[in-house]
């Protein structure tokens, strides 16, 4: 199975289509998304998932600056719980602490619930990325229509003065105001091994992520012809924590020690 990384929405996978590429579906909605892969036996059902995301939204509303939430991209799951609403952790606890099974089985269910929670956050984050991009495009198109209506010439339009006026007057010329909060792909890399099949190959075309792996000196080699990857693709297999940029296995998230095979398309 070829699985997109880190994006879980087809709209965000850039470049040419990769035949057979699937997109991880963490179980936020009742129906599986387009070309989606939703593993069986997810610990959190869609109703619980939606409630958790709702708590996260309420928690995030206390931040005046959205960039303050970017710490999630580098924080461990434990640090995130300590800084967030206790109801989030309470719901996760109820989802696995049913008293059934051995201690090891309950601990595995807890870890899988945490992993699914991370993937749900990533999925919802992508939804907001696409929503904001659409709003920003719409606002900019509206300003272009307005400057045409009031007779602003091409020179004014091209040098950005109309957009600057919009920013000053209504603060809506650019919805994102140039702020870029990165997708927490490192945490996504550590969470995926809880659910992806052993033979899955994660396909990454994101130049910034690939550059990080190059800096980490992760050794990618030419993909075998029978892997179904585009010409020139390279692959590497390592524990998930290594792709996530850690120096050693995290003691609080043992699933990150499972191996991932990632293919990069440069």
Range of the domain at 23: 2-127+181-264
Give the whole-angstrom CA distance, residue 250 versus residue 49: 25
pTM of the model: 0.74
**Which tens digit of pLDDT belongs to each residue from 145-199?**
555 555 555 555 444 544 444 444 434 444 444 445 578 899 999 999 999 999 9
Which DSSP state fits 223? P
Contacts of 239 (CB under 8 A, 6+ apart): 249, 256, 257, 258, 259, 260
Tell me how long the chain is.
266
Asked if residue 109 is part of any domain, the answer here is: yes
Helices 86-96 & 46-60 angle (0-180, nearest 10): 160
Asked if residue 242 is part of any domain, the answer here is: yes
Give the whole-angstrom CA distance, residue 126 versus residue 130: 6
Asked if residue 54 is part of any domain, the answer here is: yes
Asked if residue 208 is part of any domain, the answer here is: yes
**Which tens digit of pLDDT belongs to each residue from 204-259?**
999 999 999 999 999 999 999 999 999 999 999 999 999 999 999 988 888 999 99
Asked if residue 174 is part of any domain, the answer here is: no
Asked if residue 233 is part of any domain, the answer here is: yes
In the three-class reduction of DSSP (H, G, I as helix; E, B as strand; rest coil), residue 221 is classed as strand
Asked if residue 158 is part of any domain, the answer here is: no
Instruction: Kindly state the average pLDDT of the residues 60-73.
Output: 50
Look at the chain and report how many structural domains it folds into. 1
Distances (CA, A) of 101 to 65, 80, 109, 248, 253: 44, 27, 10, 30, 20
């Amino acid at each position: 199975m070829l699985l997109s990384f880190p994006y879980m929405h087809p709209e965000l996978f850039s470049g040419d289509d990769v035949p057979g590429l699937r997109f991880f579906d963490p179980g936020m909605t009742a129906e599986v998304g387009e070309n989606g892969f939703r593993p069986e036996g997810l610990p959190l059902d869609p109703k619980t998932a939606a409630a958790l995301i709702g708590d996260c939204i309420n928690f995030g509303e206390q931040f005046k600056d959205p960039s303050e939430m970017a710490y999630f991209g580098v924080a461990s799951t434990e640090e995130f719980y300590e800084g967030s609403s206790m109801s989030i952790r309470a719901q996760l606890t109820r989802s696995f602490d049913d008293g059934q099974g051995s201690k090891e089985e309950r601990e595995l269910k807890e870890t899988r619930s945490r992993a699914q929670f991370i993937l749900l956050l990533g999925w919802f984050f992508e939804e907001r990325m696409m929503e904001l991009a659409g709003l920003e495009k719409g606002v900019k198109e509206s300003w272009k229509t307005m400057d045409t209506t009031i007779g602003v010439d091409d020179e004014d339009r091209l040098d950005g003065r109309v957009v600057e006026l919009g920013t000053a007057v209504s603060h809506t010329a650019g919805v994102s105001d140039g702020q870029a909060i990165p997708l927490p792909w490192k945490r996504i890399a550590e969470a995926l091994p809880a659910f992806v099949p052993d033979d899955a190959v994660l396909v990454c075309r994101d130049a910034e992520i690939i550059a990080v792996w190059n800096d980490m000196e992760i050794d990618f080699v030419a993909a075998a012809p029978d892997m179904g990857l585009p010409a020139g693709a390279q692959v590497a297999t390592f524990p998930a924590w290594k792709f996530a940029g850690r120096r050693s296995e995290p003691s609080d998230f043992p699933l990150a020690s499972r191996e991932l095979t990632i293919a990069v398309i440069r």
